[in-house]
Amino acid sequence: MIEDLFESSTSGFLMVAIVSLLLLQLCFSFISREKRKDLPGPEALPLLGNLHQLDLKRLDCHLVQLSQKYGPIFRVYLASKKVVVLAGYTAVKQALVNQAEDFGEREIFPIFHDFNKGNGILFTNGDQWKEMRRFALMTLKDFGMGKRTIEEKIIEECQYLIEAFEQHQGEAFSNAQVISYATSNIISAIMYGRRFDYKDPTFQAMIERDHEVIHLTGSPSIQIYNIFPWLGPFLKTWRYIMKKVEINIESTRRIIGEMKETRNPGTCRCFVDAFLIHKENQEESDVNAHYYHEDNLLHCVMNLFGAGTDTTATTLQWGLLYITKYPHIQDGVQEELRRVVGNRQVRVEDRKNLPYMEAVIHETQRMANIVPMSLPHRTSRDTSFQGYFIQKGTMVIPLLTSVLYDESQWEKPHTFNPAHFLDDEGRFVRRDAFMPFSAGRRMCLGEGLARMELFLFFASLLQHFHFKPAPGVSEDSLDLTPVVGITLNPLTHKLRAISRF
């Protein structure tokens, strides 16, 4: 009887204690929520979130519009997934630079996991990302990034590109493919220690597949797949992309295999050799040794090859389109080149004496806005930002469109205006809000190489050619509407490259 009473009273005490603890937790949660400001944003529906309201065909522009209503930091829901959007230079800089550790992880969409399976550089986090990025930066520098050795390779490639343009003898043609071949050959020189002939069908097919994948990865159907990945097998676009990726994986594997067969243990020709040498020389006690495996090599090469080809080629295409649309700007660049360089080969050291050229290239990057939403970030830990609480693991979009067109930072943000990068005396000036390569821990690791390529290719082409629209097309009618994918490309168009000599 006493034992029954004891058990009964103990059970009752435990029940009261549990209920009390639950009530306390609810109170603390309520108080905590009261202290934390909720992020502003449009009203979301169950299951759908804000999908019914968002324009997935040009999401960056729609998010800019929402920022005008909700401010520089707001949230949207992609189905049940909460996404924090950062708009404007101040918010993006504060997050990516001032709070770089908090906002420094990569959000890995299902499609990116499908491509890389947790390998490579672009779509990894933690110690693997740190080690692979460190190794890639070190190796890119060893093989000339920012140095005279890679400058010579770019200048050599300039001649091949000029010859390809000359073959059209002033007739209108689409320059997209051949420019991609040229930029691809620069990253190929670093990755594989070789260049490819522009007429090599295997090389052409590889570049075309990369371009298709990058474009389609930003399509509305793949954005929907990233939210509802179980839809993948039912989506024609997903099946098509994965087929192309698998072919590229096999092509890259084959090239790496050929390089292994031709290796000389006493020399290091390229990135692939450097990776294999590092793998062979790793001590078992090295905590990072397990990252140097075949799949990481394959996907590091593919990440760098794709990134090193597409964005630089696309920027050059935009540059030629802009200077054709605005012939007075083209005339200004060519006059400066004539005065400073003359007919000799332009060199990187000439950059400091070509401020107008530099301004035009920078303004092209700003207006072209190649990667409008950057690649998505993710918070690495619970953090406070501008008075708001953001939970660890929250997806974050640094809206680069809103930075490059920020009305508080640019005098004429929606106009192609090289004066944005010139002072009153015509000297080139850097602008803090110039972030086409993003910023912080995840900024483009090939920025130095891309800047050198843009300068030498653009200057060399303008030394040799004057660019005009196709016959019957006026400068004013050239269409600057972008084709939307992960990157923003010009619409298919034809220009005339008329020899200046």
**Binding positions:** 444
- Provide the sign of the torsion angle of the four alpha carbons 303, 439, 63, 365, taken in this order: negative
CA distance 94 to 92: 6
CA distance 470 to 478: 10
Instruction: Please give the full DSSP string across 315-351, using - where no structure is assigned.
Output: HHHHHHHHHHHSHHHHHHHHHHHHHHTTTSPP-GGGG
Adjacent-strand bridge partners of 499: 465
The half-sphere exposure of 167 on its side-chain side, counting CA atoms within 13 A, is: 11
Cβ atoms of 378 and 392 closer than 8 Å: no
Residues 276-287, buried b or exposed e (16+ Cβ, 10 A)? bebeeeeeeeee
Q: What is the H or E stretch that residue 213 is in?
A: helix 201-217
Lookup: tokens for 296: 């990481």
Q: What is the H or E stretch that residue 57 is in?
A: none
CA distance 70 to 86: 11
Q: What DSSP character marks residue 94?
A: I
CA distance 7 to 329: 90
Tokens 């404007």 sit on residue: 88
CA distance 291 to 297: 9
Nearest to 260 by CA among 193, 325, 204: 193
CA distance 151 to 128: 31
Binding residues for heme: 444
- Provide the sign of the torsion angle of the four alpha carbons 349, 353, 357, 362, taken in this order: positive
**Neighbour-count burial of 215, counting CB atoms closer than 10 A to its CB (0-12 exposed, 13-18 middle, 19+ buried):** middle
**Residue 166: which residues within 8 A CB-CB, separation 6 or more?**
497, 499
